[in-house]
Amino acid sequence: DLPEHVTIVEVGPRDGLQNEPGVVPTDVKVAFVDRLARTGLSVVEATSFVSPRWVPQLADAAEVLADIERVEHVRYPVLVPNERGLERALEADVAEVAVFGAASEAFSAKNLNRTIDESLEMFRPVVARARDAGLRVRGYVSTVCGCPYQGEVPVADVVRMTVAMLELGCDEISLGDTIGVGAPGQVQDLLAAVTAEAPVQRLAVHMHDTYGQGLANTLAAFEAGVTIADSAAGGLGGCPYAPGAKGNLATEDLVYALHGSGVTTGVDLDALVDATAWMAQQLGRPPVSRVAEAMLAK
Ligand code: HMG
Ligand code: MG
């Protein structure tokens, strides 16, 4: 059965834009976040406080945070890999941060320049200090269905990393199919193994749509009891350190599927498609999602 209500974590402004080849002006990023926050979404991941050498597109994270119009009851988490990132995030007055590790050593090396154990040691003081400051902390586990560098990722490695991130003090773990290679049956097996060791209420899924399985995979996770899912308006997204990864599951595809199944999200689909269409115009290409395409053709 599907849950009655699903919390959507909109990652378009972060995951969606981090991979854009052309620099997106700060005011466009700000307007995108603001438009999304007015659609009824309760969580809009706004940007990343990562090394600007590694992700130049998000070098303006502080400006984005300063200029957005924070809507009451909307959370605006940001990615922080290390203490430097946390300090910048605290200066920007954030209430929630996300650390991001991986289940595969090869991806951890490329994305963080760290082994998995080193990444956990890097996150430990970040999570502790964030919690002391009263922040909510999310933890990502990437490459849960496969790795662009090492191929298969054993389920046991995903379980181990999920448990390790929870032990660090993360409130919630988002399981990321970074390159969008998973399939629903695989997600079922994965969730069965992870939920044997971690409370399902603290899990989210983060599906990329490279093979068109993002929605099916997310629904498979809901059937397993997960009630939080990440997606990006317009199906934007990708990771600069994950070659070949396409965009995230499109938020409008997710919302359409959920509302049509009687599941509430709090999101106004028309407003969401408006925000998607506006951003597509800024980027100069149409949204990839079928729902946006269908609704905009009307
Ligand atoms: P490093 O080179 O090992 O770190 O990178 P370092 O400490 O030697 O720092 C290198 C330089 O960056 C230094 O500057 C630091 O000051 C600076 P320099 O002295 O050379 O001029 N620096 C920073 N500046 C600003 N803010 C910071 C910061 N940290 C260092 N926070 C590091 C290690 C972790 C920093 C680097 O690897 C990094 O930033 N990686 C982030 C990569 C990234 O953002 N990837 C995309 C997000 S993950 C993702 O998309 C997956 C996800 O969507 C889930 C899924 O799909 O699976 C979440
Ligand atoms: Mg991602």
For residue 38, which of 66, 77, 68 has the smallest C-alpha distance?
68
Query: CA 96, CA 249: separation in Å to the nearest integer?
Result: 23
Contact, 40 vs 273, CB < 8 A? no
Mean pLDDT of the chain: 97
For residue 240, which of 152, 112, 150 has the smallest C-alpha distance?
112
Query: 144-182 pLDDT, tens per residue?
Result: 999 999 999 999 999 999 999 999 999 999 999 999 999
Cα 237 to middle of ligand 2, angstroms: 7
DSSP 64-96: HHHHS-PPTT-B--EE--SHHHHHHHHHTT-SE
Query: 100-138 pLDDT, tens per residue?
Result: 999 999 999 999 999 999 999 999 999 999 999 999 999
Asked if the model's pLDDT at residue 244 lies above 80, the reply is no
Is pTM beyond 0.95 here?
A: yes
How many CB atoms lie under 10 A from the CB of residue 284?
A: 7
Q: Write phi, then psi, for 202 (nearest 5 degrees).
A: -100, 10
Q: Select from 51, 82, 126, 149 the residue to mutate for testing ligand 1; criterion: most ligand atoms less than 8 Å from CB.
A: 51
CB of 57 shorter than 6 A to ligand 1: no
Query: What proportion of the chain, given as a percentage, has pLDDT over 70?
Result: 100
For residue 154, which of 94, 194, 96, 206 has the smallest C-alpha distance?
194
Cα 50 to middle of ligand 1, angstroms: 4
Cα 296 to middle of ligand 2, angstroms: 26
Query: 36-57 pLDDT, tens per residue?
Result: 999 999 999 999 999 999 999 9
DSSP 182-207: --HHHHHHHHHHHHTTS-GGGEEEEE
CB of 107 shorter than 6 A to ligand 1: no
ipTM above 0.85, yes or no: yes
Q: Provide the pLDDT for residue 276.
A: 98
